[in-house]
Structure 1
Amino acid sequence: MQIYLDTANLAEIREAASWGILSGVTTNPTLIAREKGADFKAIITEIAELVDGPISAETISLDAEGMVREGLEYASWHPNVIIKVPSTTEGLRAVSQLAKHGIRCNVTLCFNSVQALLAARAGAFIISPFVGRVDDTGVDGMALIREIAGIYRQDREITTKILAASIRHPRHIVEAALAGADIATCPFKVLQQAMRHPLTDRGIEQFLADWKSRMSS
């Protein structure tokens, strides 16, 4: 399973990229808005220079015509830019039209398997089920990932990748991989948490203490 970073913060992306683990980055209007004063195009193009993989840039139009217009513009910024559109009928129209231009789309805000199936049939490159937000409704978000994965396996024509979004904690990463997700997109904080364990810290302290004791004897 590939790991994407869910942020528009260049410092976070630069740091995570230095670990050698990133295959892509997802952004959305909320994440872009947090980078106050920064130009949208400048952020996306700089991210694309930092990470050699799909970079999601989300449209803000609600109609297919507007999504396609924005998508064509965003895709011209860098070959790695993919266009994020919502799981709506207008989004499906936009995906279908953009696909004819050879432009890949990430269909976001997916909350049921039918949305995922229709997005795949429209030509989506990525479908993004929001596991954390599904959990918030009292339903198992990972069950949705498993269901989508099962549906996609039944249809050999479907090549759409499943991206587990709304990742809340490190265990979500493991569960997404086991459920059949192709990608998990994570906040930087979750990636930091994933590499921390008290036994790792204790082991390092013990090794260093033993080495120091040997060298001083």
Structure 2
Amino acid sequence: MNQLSGLKQFTTIVADTGDVNQIRKYQPMDATTNPSLILNTINIPEYQDLVSEAIQYGKKKSSIRKQQVIHASDRILVNIGMEILKYIPGYISSEVDARLSFNTDLCILKAQNIVKLYEELGIERSRILIKLAATWQCIQAARELQKYNIKCNLTLLFSFAQSKACAEANVFLVSPFVGRIYDWYHDKNLIHNYDAKNDPGVLSVKKIYKYYKKYNYSTIIMGASFRNIEQILELSGCDRLTISPNLLEQLKNNSSLVSRNLFFSDSILPKPTSLNESEFLWEHNENQMAVEKLSDGIRQFSRDQEKLEIILNSKF
């Protein structure tokens, strides 16, 4: 048995890619996309008909070029998601425009529009996870979207305050970014004698896992953004792990034994008092790494969304 098969015994594997060829190869349960991944996949030959259809859709929805591009951008996100869903049994995560990350109402409207586009193509909302950055505004959007049976994946999660607020809002799933947490500590020369057991990103996920199980929160924990397979294997037993194709390949080619590392067997305790907005903002602000990485992540996804729109605009 290879390590990928071994890992699947303890954890649900999610593919962190928009490339349907990789989805077919590794046969994950779910798949996640983001603006960066969509940007990297629109030139894949298999997707050119989907891109062309999105352009035509944009033209039909508006006569104003800027609006045409926005409609086409939403449509290509959904078209690629629909294609991926043909090869997985579970969820596809599709991300709301990161430029809306500080506006609850606009996030709700965009999420509803993405779900509507999927449903118009015959995909039930029960198979869709709407990805939102884990800002206070997006967490409240996720809380509200549950009223419409829309499940969310809160991403760019770096602080414990974010994880607590998401659980308290009954968010369906959170994606703590293991690799980006590691990057911050590594870049500041704060990691010495590296050991995956003491990796700050790994420790962050373990802390969230223990907290959620201790207080019986239903929110699913999905470790994300890995830099090596050691980080992944150290989190064996986590609810879900979303893994890039290059690391999936390494796991597939390695036959070393995989053991479960995350357990919870203590008694369940009553849930603590929920954070209010000011408490959340202060607690998050106290974590310099989380403040920097959340804002960096939103800017990066926003830039990639803008690049995608520039490419789509050139195709009209």
TM-score band by shorter chain is 0.7 to 0.9
Asked whether the equivalents of residues 178 and 202 of structure 2 are also in contact (C-alpha less than 8 Å), the reply is yes
Q: Which runs of 5+ in 1 are unaligned?
A: 200-217
- Does the residue aligned with 2:235 lie in a helix, a strand or coil? helix
Q: How well do the aligned residues superpose, as a CA RMSD in angstroms?
A: 1.6
Offset at residue 55 of structure 1 (A): 0.7
Asked whether the equivalents of residues 78 and 94 of structure 2 are also in contact (C-alpha less than 8 Å), the reply is no
Query: Is residue 107 from structure 1 mapped to residue 154 from structure 2 by the alignment?
Result: yes
Q: Which residue of 2 aligns with 1:59?
A: 96
**In 1, Cα distance between the equivalents of 2:96 and 2:239?**
23
Query: Is residue 154 from structure 1 mapped to residue 214 from structure 2 by the alignment?
Result: yes
- Does the residue aligned with 2:29 lie in a helix, a strand or coil? strand
Aligned length: 192
Moved >4 Å (runs of 4+): none
Letter in 2 for 1:162: I
The C-alpha deviation readout for 1:31-72, integer Å capped at 9, x for no partner, is: 001123532221011111211101100001221112111211
Offset at residue 23 of structure 1 (A): 1.2
Q: Which residue of 2 aligns with 1:12?
A: 22
**In 1, Cα distance between the equivalents of 2:39 and 2:22?**
16
Letter in 1 for 2:202: M
Match of 1:3 among 5, 13, 19: 13
- Does the residue aligned with 2:130 lie in a helix, a strand or coil? strand
Asked whether the equivalents of residues 130 and 152 of structure 2 are also in contact (C-alpha less than 8 Å), the reply is yes
Query: Is residue 49 from structure 1 mapped to residue 86 from structure 2 by the alignment?
Result: yes
Match of 1:123 among 170, 183, 186: 170
Asked whether the equivalents of residues 119 and 127 of structure 1 are also in contact (C-alpha less than 8 Å), the reply is yes
Could you state the TM-score of these two structures normalised by the residue count of structure 1?
A: 0.83
Q: Which residue of 1 aligns with 2:239?
A: 182
**In 2, Cα distance between the equivalents of 1:42 and 1:16?**
21
Change (3 A) 1:143 1:198: closer
Asked whether the equivalents of residues 163 and 185 of structure 1 are also in contact (C-alpha less than 8 Å), the reply is yes
Asked whether the equivalents of residues 74 and 81 of structure 1 are also in contact (C-alpha less than 8 Å), the reply is no
Percent identity over paired residues: 29
Q: Which runs of 5+ in 2 are unaligned?
A: 1-10, 44-50, 52-75, 186-198, 257-316
Q: Which residue of 2 aligns with 1:165?
A: 224
Offset at residue 198 of structure 1 (A): 8.7
The C-alpha deviation readout for 1:78-136, integer Å capped at 9, x for no partner, is: 23111000110111111011111111100000001110110111121111100011111
Letter in 2 for 1:146: K
The C-alpha deviation readout for 1:151-189, integer Å capped at 9, x for no partner, is: 112212x10010000012222221111xx5211100011
Query: Is residue 36 from structure 1 mapped to residue 42 from structure 2 by the alignment?
Result: yes
Q: Which has the higher contact order (CA 8 A, sep 6+)?
A: 2
**In 1, Cα distance between the equivalents of 2:156 and 2:255?**
35
Change (3 A) 1:184 1:198: closer
Could you state the TM-score of these two structures normalised by the residue count of structure 2?
A: 0.58
Asked whether the equivalents of residues 105 and 126 of structure 1 are also in contact (C-alpha less than 8 Å), the reply is yes
